Structure 1
């Protein structure tokens, strides 16, 4: 079923910052819906896509002619391709009292962040838009099963067009990951880089072990660190930091790794049908990835810092997700099972013994029964965003 438009949770925040800043910058992975969001809510704006060789050449060779051809109010896509434009936008922004005049998008956060912080500090709002969320899909009447959603993923095109997940992710990999990342990192052997990505997908939800990765992929630690940084800068992966206090010497202090798009991870694992998901040994990891990514989207869509962590100590005690909000900690266990078991709360009980002032915990799982008690909240995964209503 094709859906013409799915309301995005970030819309209210986008409207708010358009009334507050002369420039609004939207970052996020390619095809996450940045341009669609801008065009839908900035009707009548001029539009320039710097991926177009002709438009990019004009912007590079004659910025004044570019802004004459595309005057404010204007949407400029992939602005990191011509960072020189930002100094002109700075001058224009300082000369007007109007808000929401320049809507900029970009899909490489390091390049864009460096350019924006230098030229547009204090003049632009920064938003990060990730692929569709479970809450957004539910709002559009889409409630696929656990296995269906892990197989399909969250790219908007999957819901707006008749396109199979395998086709989309293959195209995405070839057109964006290989092409973009090759420009940003010293990738000489694409087959080796693809192997690296598949190894990463096999470690989704795990603590990053560079030495082990280096041995499995066959490249140096320095190269792996460079590749990981580029993947993170391009919004392909993200890291979940551990929660620890200085006095807690037993806590693990290395981040865990997740894919921004769980469907891409499933594709890299060569999962070809929803039925294959439940049989895959990494199904639990993929489910955890989806829930952690959902919590991240819920925070970013309201313009907040992520403030998401996990907890693990050297004795193996672990909590999958820690929410830090209003200076309070809320522990969350993530379980792919469809039936609740009291054993699912074991990590929560241990965490509360270590952090006695923590908020009541929660279990996010694949079952339908939901409950709320003084000790524990039980949620279906489609309602993950409810966790943030502290």
Structure 2
């Protein structure tokens, strides 16, 4: 039963649905995004095991078979990236259960390190597990929980549940999150003796949200090599801190950019790194537009992932600097979206969308402008959405 103190997570329905078909659920996502909470709320009768606890981890490593023998009904295994080999043991036990016709033992395995976890899942658990991702809270989840979610507050707070539980402690929470989790994860993956250049790199990344990732420029600014910059980026991507939005490519007779754009999984962390302390500072900050764009792209990802669907999102930019903020690919069909942080309608918002539609014709099934202003039914028909009203999964044809 859902606790009154907790915010209902949209992914809950997909987790329950997947357990009808798979003996194992693998739940990934950033640290502190709510993975443990959602699992223990949905399945309170499953024993909980945290592999961040050193004694617990060592006991399982010493005698993994006894661990599985002692959990005949399954378990929630938290932070499994600390012992990725556990997937091999899960595979053996699940296969034996299937052979014996025992289908009531269930495992939920969580982890916040994408690469280490999913590599073992691919090797050991193909066909035996559903892989789902829980990102920080979406604005829809916050609205449904009755939280006050004006745009600047959403950008400033981000989506981590701890921040929304105590907004006055936002800066402390993000400072501790940065030093406790991100820096620790980095040190556990690569050997960094001096953290100062890495901290500089993180803040420079926050200042480059929504722009093409330029490792060479960052290398000069930070004072480390290009391979080091790329390595750090990989670590941040593995820990669900940043991601790259790939450029859309097509054989359309244009020279298209090949450089991806950089975004943060959580705008609250980005604003912390930028030194933005309150909504008034954010309103006049030169990067507010980029932070708004980052938030909307995140919402697009969350809407898909919360339904168990991986969104195929790209952006378009050619040699003439024509740009579309988001291209969504569905099989061979395309949808094109412009993201604008302004609250007033501007007819030029549609200019690039029209160009893209003319360029690719019937392959483009939908175009829309997503902005921060108010919309009515007439606007929706014309493809103008306030980001709160927008959904990738509605039935409107634009």
The TM-score normalised by the length of structure 2 is: 0.93
Match of 1:383 in 2: 389
The change in CA–CA distance for 1:160 and 1:375 in structure 2 (over 3 A counts) is closer
Tell me the CA shift for residue 329 of structure 1: 1.1
Equivalence for 1:88: 89
State how 1:1-390 maps to structure 2 within 5 Å.
Answer: 4-96=5-97, 97-98=102-103, 101-161=106-166, 164-357=169-362, 358-372=364-378, 376-384=382-390, 386-389=391-394
Distance (Å, rounded) in 2 between the aligned partners of 1:346 and 1:116: 44
Bigger mean CA deviation after superposition, 349-358 or 62-71: 62-71
Contact 2:216–2:226, Cα closer than 8 Å, also in 1: yes
**Deviation at residue 389 of structure 1 after TM alignment:** 2.7
> C-alpha separation between the residues in 2 aligned to 1:142 and 1:327?
39
Q: Secondary structure, in 3 states, of the residue corresponding to 1:95?
A: helix
Structure 1 residues 126 and 330 mapped into 2: Cα distance closer, same or farther (>3 Å)?
same
Deviations 1:263-294 (A, max 9, x none): 10010000011110011110000000000011
Between stretches 274-283 and 64-73, larger displacement belongs to: 64-73
SS of 2:369's equivalent in the other structure is: strand
Q: Deviations over 1:233-253 (max 9, x none)?
A: 110011111112134442112
Deviations 1:3-48 (A, max 9, x none): 7121212112111111110111000000111111111111200010
Q: Residues 298, 227 of structure 1: CA spacing in aligned structure 2 closer, same or farther, 3 A cutoff?
A: same
Mapped contact 2:248–2:327 kept (Cα < 8 A): yes
State the alpha-carbon separation in 1 of the partners of residues 342 and 369 from structure 2. Answer: 11
Q: Distance in 2 between matches of 1:32 and 1:374?
A: 32
Instruction: Give 1:68 deviation, angstroms.
Output: 4.2
Structure 2: where are the runs of 5+ without partners? none
Residues 222 and 320 of structure 1: is their aligned pair in 2 closer, same or farther, counting only changes over 3 Å?
Answer: same
Asked whether the 8 Å contact 1:208–1:254 carries over to 2, the reply is yes
1: distance between equivalents of 2:261 and 2:237?
A: 13
CA contact (8 A) 2:72 2:105 kept: no
Unpaired runs of 5+ in structure 1? none
> How big is the shift at 1:67?
2.8
8 Å Cα contact 1:47-1:75 kept in structure 2: yes
| 1:188-209 CA-partner distances (Å, limit 9, x unpaired) | 2111100000000000011111
The answer as to whether partners of 2:341 and 2:372 remain within 8 angstroms in 1 is yes
**TM-align CA RMSD:** 1.8
CA separation in 2, counterparts of 1:229 and 1:337?
33
- What CA deviation, in whole Å up to 9, does each residue of 1:161-194 have, x standing for no partner? 4652211110100110011111112322111100
Distance 1:56 1:167, change over 3 A: same
8 A Cα contact 2:73 2:105, kept in partner: no
Contact 2:256/2:317 (8 A) holds in 1: yes
Q: How far off its partner does 1:309 sit? A: 0.9
Checking the alignment, whether the CA contact within 8 Å between 1:24 and 1:125 is kept in structure 2 is yes
Shift of 1:72: 3.0
Cα distance in 1 between the residues matched to 2:248 and 2:152:
30
- Measured against aligned partners, the alpha-carbon deviations of 1:91-143 in whole angstroms (never above 9, x if no partner) come to 11112241560100000011001111112111111001100111111222224
Is the 1:202–1:269 contact (alpha carbons within 8 Å) kept by the matching residues of 2? Answer: yes
Aligned residues: 388
- Call closer, same or farther: CA 1:180–1:376 in 2, change over 3 Å: same
Q: Which moved more, 1:365-374 or 1:230-239?
A: 365-374
